[in-house]
Amino acid sequence: MNFMEEYKSKLITPEKAAGLVKSGDFVGYGHFNLFPAEFDKALGKRAGEEGLINVTIDCASSVRYPEVVKNDPEMRTFTYYSNHFNGLERKLGDVNRISYVPTQYHDLQKIRGEVVQPFLKKNIMCILTCPMDSHGNFNFGIAASETYATLKNEDMIIVEVNEKSPYCIGGAMESVNIKDVDYIIESDENVFMMPQAGEPSETEKAIAGFIMPMIPDRACLQLGIGGVPNTIGALIAKSDLKDLGVNTEMFCDAMVDMYEAGKITNKYKTRDVGRSTFTFCFGNKKTHEFLHKNPQVAAYDCNYTNNPKYIALEDNVISINNIIEVDLFSQVCSESNGIRQISGTGGSLDFHIGAWESKGGKGILAFNSTYKDKEGRVRSRINPCLPSGAVVTVPRVMVHYLVTEYGAVNMKGRSIWGMAEGVISIAHPDFRDDLIKAAQAMKIWSPTNRIPF
């Protein structure tokens, strides 16, 4: 058979595909924008079906409200897991309808590919893909992630073809061939896009102002999710910086602005010279159009982009990520609010370690020094200790730079006294006296400590 004949022979309806799921099956959905909308809708209709029980669904940052969750509020049929929470999944977590799977992002490639845990092997994997090309390949689009490694070990592979998905040139492990696909379904659902970023706040501008002088010409950039990384990107686009490279987990909207301003050339990278490397994208329409079949960028699996030993091969890696809070021991939480899961470890730790190991590199963790609680009271994001249940995302021995709107401090090589002093120096002035008193009570403040306010 030629490719189109094989395609037609494997084409089935979403309902027929969902009907292949049996009791006890472990079903994988594609991560991020590889979420299979039509398959999920059809499978969700089977919630409560007599004889169908104990079906486990695995995903990450679901871009749609899962029908398998919506139609099964008491979990009589489906259990839902995520490797990285987003806003939608956070709300599901609040009602105990989803469980987070702690993950250091680059590890997923090994965990999925080598089946370190036998129970992680899925019976069925369904992912959204681009239409089949002339060679019989289905491109994963904007989420190479750990997709290829996961597919390698599954019993059944179903692809949900959607022509609205941007086609992202690889790298490697960015597509699956029809010979390895068991069934095909089709979809015309709109692909999720981020809204256009708003104007940065004055606080974000102040934080970015401390970070910009830390970025040299020929730096290799990683920008995380959030206002500060996007603000940095906008400032870089207007700066005098030259010949920047990109090796990032997420390709963000600000990178398109940097390309258009001529700041990104990738001329001096060690790997993939001339190309920006990434593993997934949450972007707006302009970013999707930029990535589509663009040879200036390359989609790779998450181990290639996120493994610290590979990141460190580049010189001057500048990694910028947001965090939630930090304590006086320099322990960083980027993923939970107490026991409430907010996001996940993701690639924050991967890149923070890799940047430190890079020649001339800097791991930068940025955050607003304060926030307002539900009652409108101003609270500090720097506290004596992390609150009960808060997850340590970056251990104190690995923290490099911490940056707020009040300054930047290098935490490497400091004593516990020095860590407390450094963290307090970038706290909001209204909270510094109380933090000093707490440090004294905790015996992590030397009588000779002096902070120039």
Question: Residue 120 — very low, low, confident or very high, per pLDDT cuts 50/70/90?
Answer: confident
Task: Clarify whether 199 is annotated catalytic.
Answer: no
- The one catalytic residue in 38, 89, 146, 249 is 249
Over residues 305-324, the mean pLDDT reads 97
In the predicted structure, residue 15 carries a pLDDT above the cut 70: yes
Phi, psi of 70 (to 5 degrees): -60, -40
How far is it, in rounded angstroms, from Cα 310 to Cα 326?
A: 28
Looking at per-residue pLDDT, the higher value among 448 and 450 belongs to 448
Report yes or no: 126 and 279 within 8 Å, Cβ to Cβ. Answer: no
CATH class for the domain made up of 202-441: alpha beta
How far is it, in rounded angstroms, from Cα 205 to Cα 199?
A: 10
Report yes or no: 130 and 162 within 8 Å, Cβ to Cβ. Answer: yes
Over residues 2-18, the mean pLDDT reads 97
In the predicted structure, residue 365 carries a pLDDT above the cut 90: yes
Weakest mean pLDDT among 102-111, 260-269, 388-397, 414-423: 102-111
Token representation of residue 77:
């049929």
pLDDT (0 to 100) of residue 350: 97
Over residues 76-88, the mean pLDDT reads 96
In the predicted structure, residue 453 carries a pLDDT above the cut 60: no
| End-to-end Cα spacing for the chain | 75
pLDDT tens across 235-285, in order?
A: 999 999 999 999 999 999 999 999 999 999 999 999 999 999 999 999 999
Weakest mean pLDDT among 87-91, 182-186, 195-199, 380-384: 195-199
pLDDT (0 to 100) of residue 452: 43
pLDDT tens across 171-180, in order?
A: 899 999 999 9
Mean pLDDT across the chain: 94
Range(s) of the chain covered by CATH 3.40.1080.10: 3-186
Q: Strand, coil or helix: what is 343?
A: coil
| Superfamily for domain range 3-186 | Glutaconate Coenzyme A-transferase (3.40.1080.10)
Report yes or no: 386 and 333 within 8 Å, Cβ to Cβ. Answer: yes
Range(s) of the chain covered by CATH 3.40.1080.20: 202-441
In the predicted structure, residue 183 carries a pLDDT above the cut 50: yes
How far is it, in rounded angstroms, from Cα 392 to Cα 411?
A: 16
Over residues 214-242, the mean pLDDT reads 92
Over residues 422-448, the mean pLDDT reads 93
Q: Strand, coil or helix: what is 196?
A: coil
Q: What is the pTM of this model?
A: 0.94
In the predicted structure, residue 371 carries a pLDDT above the cut 70: yes
Burial of 309 (0-12, 13-18, 19+ CB in 10 A): exposed
pLDDT (0 to 100) of residue 450: 59
pLDDT (0 to 100) of residue 399: 98
pLDDT (0 to 100) of residue 153: 86
Q: How many CB atoms lie within 10 A of CB 371?
A: 13
Report yes or no: 339 and 328 within 8 Å, Cβ to Cβ. Answer: no
∠ Cα 346 163 290 (to 5°)? 60
